[in-house]
Structure 1
Amino acid sequence: MPEQAAVAEVMAELAALEDPRARAVNERHGDDHGVNLGRLRALAKRLRTQQDLAVGLWDTGDTAARLLALLICRPKAFERDGRAGLDGMLREARAPKVHDWLVNYVVKKSPHAEELRVAWTADPDPVVASAGWALTTERVAKKPEGLDLPGLLTVIEAEMKDAPDRLQWAMNHCLAQIGIEHPEHRARALAIGERLGVLKDYPTSPGCTSPYAPVWIDEMVRRRTGRAGP
């Protein structure tokens, strides 16, 4: 089937999955689509990996289509730069769920991930910078060799308090991850979190861990070691 026809057919399927209740829930989180994510994943499973179709769906600009594209693409097939590359895609990905899936499902699996991490973290656009911090958090947890952890804590201490929401959230996650994964930096991470108070009053559902870094760090350390604290 020609790509244009395939895209049209999938877009029709997505339109048929539109659910006003799902849209209402998604829009409360800044995502402008009305497709239940479980159904979206089922459709992706049926379509399997199709890079050309993924590119065509992404180019529609439709949020549900872009989410589906990220599920059926080949992460290593994307170039780093250009509008059709990962950098250009991220700068177009303003819906939070598209941004999150692009970073976690595609960029993290790309050979360009480290170059993009460095470039994005220093980007003046806070949404782009938040992607860089998300990639840094991944390295803090899985491949910290070569990272300047004290330097990261210094930047977080100086900039997180006044950062825009999405960037602040990403920096806070990095702060917590440093405290959880690296005992030698845990006391400083806890102290920074306590002094800044970022997300201290964030509403947390029963049974969930608060994103406030001192609570988050203590809880994860307790689960791993049976005790909290530095």
Structure 2
Amino acid sequence: MRSKPFVLSPTALILAALIGLCTLPAVHAHDVPDGKKARDIDTVNADIEIGRDAEAGDLDTVNGDIEVGAGSKVGDADTVNGDITLADGVSAGGAETVNGDIEAGRDVVANGDIETVNGAIKFDNGGRVSGGLETVNGTIKLTGTSVERDIETVNGDISLLAGSTVKGKLIVRKPHGNWCLFSCDDDKPVIEIGANAEVAGGLLLEREVELRQDPSAKVGPIVYAYDKK
């Protein structure tokens, strides 16, 4: 007796197809492998990772970190809730985050502004920023780095070390609104201008700071834009 052929119903076929899709290996759509090229990457709830010696356009996420491998070239890097990490020798556009740090290794070139609100900014030796640096509540630490425009903060400490140079101004803004419940005087930003560092445009201080300047540092005019006690 001949056996009847085994036929799947349409519903079973759909379920099988769905199960098959679920068992496929995961594709990291927001990763660019070493040495490869990609266009702009735009996502919401995912990290973006660029390999070594790779190229990509603008990198944009909302809830995720952005990591760019050594020697790679990318456009602007923007996130809201995440860190941005630029490894040694990276060339990038600007970099911006709200709640996260921006950290650059050695010989990183940034062809735009570097901005964060609640996060630190750090550049290592050989860094070059053609724009400015800005944060509200984060620290800024530059080692052997040059900045073409202004550096600006409200509540963060700033350290310019190992011959770092700023062609613009170093600005400490006055807090607005309810930044301070009692008094900001007990938590003054610390501004450290280390050995052989230079701030050509001088300092614009809208609030009191603790200024630590090495004797070998060069600083332009210091403007105290507040009532000194």
Q: TM-score, normalised by structure 1?
A: 0.31
Greater helix share, structure number: 1
Greater strand share, structure number: 2
Q: TM-score, normalised by structure 2?
A: 0.31
